[in-house]
């Protein structure tokens, strides 16, 4: 398949993940950010959900509110492949991702350097046909940060070894390319029946992330104590945040889809907002 010059928005529109009208979308995101809490200077990594905004937008707003008004040269957004199996890490070589709020330029120099540090980094264009885990985070980043360059990463294998390898490759690339980088893990939590179970398991996962210990978090995944759609991206983000000086993790919120749409308990999804930053927690938070 031919590499795209730009990656069009595929998640916008009626019955999709977020509004397609630019004014409506900005107002929706502004509202989520306004109720999401205060900015936390020193934030270098965060976890945000990748579901439709009506279900998880308020939780996502808690994550992105932490970086509102801050400045980063680039943002690495990592998430799982939902539809296309492949071996390795997909990073698109298109010039930009498009949303109703405008284009987000891809940091192609960083992408090329990352390919030199990781043998399994490649472009799998078929991934972009349906994948939403990167795009749904972009309107929040566009409103919260303004201008930045994007490094969009879709990881196929969410295991511990794969997460460690991509974290190390990203760390080396960040060091060689310089500048300031925010790392975002695009991740939902529990998927399955039962609202109470969804909330309790999602809280366990968030507590593990809040412990600021990636190995402990992965232990919980591997032993079935909780689940996540994108645990490798979370672990890699935690490792990278630690290398960037983050010594504090803050769980800002844990919710489920049932809280927003309490119709059926047959299938419920959990969401969390977690940030990783330098410094001790503010006593007022």
58-97 pLDDT tens trace: 999 999 999 999 999 999 999 999 999 888 899 988 999 9
Q: Token pair 């405008």 is at which residue? A: 102
Contact 73, 37 (CB under 8 A): no
Nearest Cα to Cα of residue 272 among 223, 200, 183, 214: 200
Structure confidence at residue 120 (pLDDT): 82
DSSP 89-102: EE----SEEEETTE
Tell the burial category of 6 from Cβ atoms under 10 Å away from its Cβ (0-12, 13-18, 19+).
middle
C-alpha span between 64 and 35 (Å, rounded): 11
Per-residue confidence (pLDDT) for residue 86, from 0 to 100? 87
Query: What is the chain's mean pLDDT, rounded?
Result: 94
Mean pLDDT by 10 residues, the chain (285 residues): 77 96 98 97 98 98 98 98 90 94 97 89 88 98 98 93 94 96 98 98 98 96 97 97 96 97 95 91 41
Tens digits of residue pLDDT in 223-256: 999 999 999 999 999 999 999 999 999 999 999 9
Q: Are strands 149-155 and 181-186 parallel, antiparallel or unpaired?
A: unpaired
CB neighbourhood size of 30 (10 A): 14
> What pLDDT was estimated at residue 5?
84
Contacts of 157 (CB under 8 A, 6+ apart): 87, 88, 232
Can you give the pLDDT at residue 283?
36
Q: Do 103 and 97 contact (CB within 8 A), yes or no? A: yes
CATH 3.40.830.10 corresponds to the domain 39-277: yes
Instruction: Quote the pTM value.
Output: 0.95
pLDDT of residue 157: 86
**CA–CA dist 221, 143 (Å, integer):** 33
Q: What is the pLDDT of residue 284?
A: 34
Q: What is the tally of helices (H) and strands (E) in the chain? A: 9, 12
């Amino acid at each position: 398949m031919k590499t795209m010059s730009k990656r069009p928005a595929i998640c916008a529109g009626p019955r999709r993940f977020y509004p397609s009208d630019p004014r409506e979308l900005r107002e929706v995101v502004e509202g989520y950010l306004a109720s999401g809490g205060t900015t936390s200077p020193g934030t270098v990594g965060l976890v945000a959900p990748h579901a439709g905004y009506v279900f998880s937008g308020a939780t996502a707003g808690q994550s992105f509110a932490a970086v509102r008004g801050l400045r980063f040269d680039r943002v690495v957004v990592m998430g799982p492949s939902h539809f296309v199996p492949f071996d390795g890490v997909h990073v698109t070589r298109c010039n930009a991702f498009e949303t109703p709020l405008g284009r987000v330029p891809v940091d192609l120099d960083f992408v090329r350097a990352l390919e030199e540090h990781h043998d399994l980094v490649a472009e799998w264009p078929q991934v972009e046909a349906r994948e939403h885990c990167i795009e749904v985070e972009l309107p929040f980043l566009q409103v919260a940060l303004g201008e930045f360059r994007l490094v969009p990463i879709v990881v196929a294998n969410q295991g511990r070894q794969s997460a460690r390898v991509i974290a190390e490759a990203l760390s080396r690339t960040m060091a060689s390319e310089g500048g300031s980088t925010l790392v975002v893990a695009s991740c939902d939590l529990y998927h399955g029946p039962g609202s109470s179970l969804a909330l309790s398991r999602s809280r366990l996962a968030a507590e593990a992330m809040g412990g600021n210990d990636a190995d402990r978090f992965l232990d919980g995944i591997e032993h079935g104590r909780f689940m996540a759609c994108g645990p490798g991206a979370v672990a890699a983000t935690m490792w990278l945040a630690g290398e960037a000086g983050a010594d504090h993790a803050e769980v800002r919120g844990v919710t489920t889809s049932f809280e927003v749409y309490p119709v059926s308990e047959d299938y419920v999804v959990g969401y969390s907002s977690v940030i990783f930053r330098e410094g001790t927690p503010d006593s007022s938070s």
